[in-house]
Amino acid sequence: MPGISVGFIGLGLMGRPMSRRLLAAGHPLAVANRSRPSVDALAAEGAAACASPAEVAERAEVIFTMLPDAPQVEEVVFGPEGLAGAMKPGSVLIDCTSNDPRSAERVAGAMAERGAHFLDAPVSGAPEGAEGGTLAIMAGGPKEVFERCRPLLEILGGKVVHVGESAGAGCIAKLANQILVGVTFLGVSEALVFGAKAGLDPAALAEVMSAGLARCGALEVKAPKILSGDFQPGGKVSSHIKDLRYALAKAEEMEMPLPGASLVAELFDSLRAAGEGELDHIAIVRAIERMAGVEARAKG
């Protein structure tokens, strides 16, 4: 899709580096955001600054949204000067928000009424993955629309997978991802705190575990943050709470238990109650540290 006009709405921790990659790839880019400084920063790099989602729709053939939650997505779509009344027939909305599958269905319906198309394509990989174009992207929606947009998605992601034809399929894949991430974070936290309580150097423990069957992305990426006490957010506790809330609601709808995810959600809730909701989600280790009375920090 060389030179196709692209829009991007939502220029936060993830949206700004993603939009920059699209601009750097040579695509004319129109941007909008609730706060103006991010728009101005992209405009200084060559993007067209827009005052509303409707203005983005006027300028772009494919529009990306990367927003905090379903209410913000629906405001961009259904609100005043929203996308629902402005999308051109044949254009595509790709929502990369970690969203409620039911919201994705509503947005897909609104796009269909305009003769436009919709993909829900949440991502995983933190701001570092957004900057490097190595995100995992899980897309739901019509396969032919996905294939049409694949070149754009591959600018953003190192692994781009079509997970289902129905609206909301991408959201469900992201919720599954968040279940696994949360439970894995708990496992990493318990293992390192357990070792620290027994008198081991958590750094040495992380090193040896990373060479065996316990090795995992959570250990590789997040153990250094635990060991240094660095909880500046990539993914936030508050965002993960939101994702697990949607996962647990979907599980209840399907009449299946999620015992691990339920426990992780409770521990994340305890962090938010302690005023730690804006920390990186690996701060779940703090809940375990408090119960154990020891911190899993590197020695020396």
List 143, 159, 174, 250, catalytic entry: 174
Q: Say if residues 142 and 117 touch (Cβ distance below 8 Å).
A: yes
117-154 burial string, b = 16+ CB within 10 Å, else e?
Answer: bbbbbbbbbbbebbbebebbbbbbbbeebbebbbebbe
Count of Cβ atoms closer than 10 Å to residue 36 Cβ:
12
Dihedral sign for Cα 154, 177, 71, 101, please: positive
**Contacts (Cβ under 8 Å, ≥6 apart) of 263:** 186
Q: Is 159 a catalytic residue?
A: no
State the angle between helix axes of 15-24 and 143-156 in degrees (0 to 180), rounded to the nearest 10. Answer: 90
Q: Say if residues 164 and 104 touch (Cβ distance below 8 Å).
A: no
State the angle between helix axes of 217-228 and 202-209 in degrees (0 to 180), rounded to the nearest 10. Answer: 170
Count of Cβ atoms closer than 10 Å to residue 259 Cβ:
8
Q: How many residues does the chain have?
A: 300
Q: What tokens appear for 136 in the block? A: 């995992």
CA atoms within 13 A on the CB side of 55: 10
CA nearest neighbour of 108 among 123, 128, 131, 92: 92
DSSP letters, 113-157, are HTT-EEEE--EESHHHHHHHT-EEEEEES-HHHHHHHHHHHHHHE
Alpha-carbon 61 to chain mean position: 23
Which residues are tagged catalytic? Answer: 174
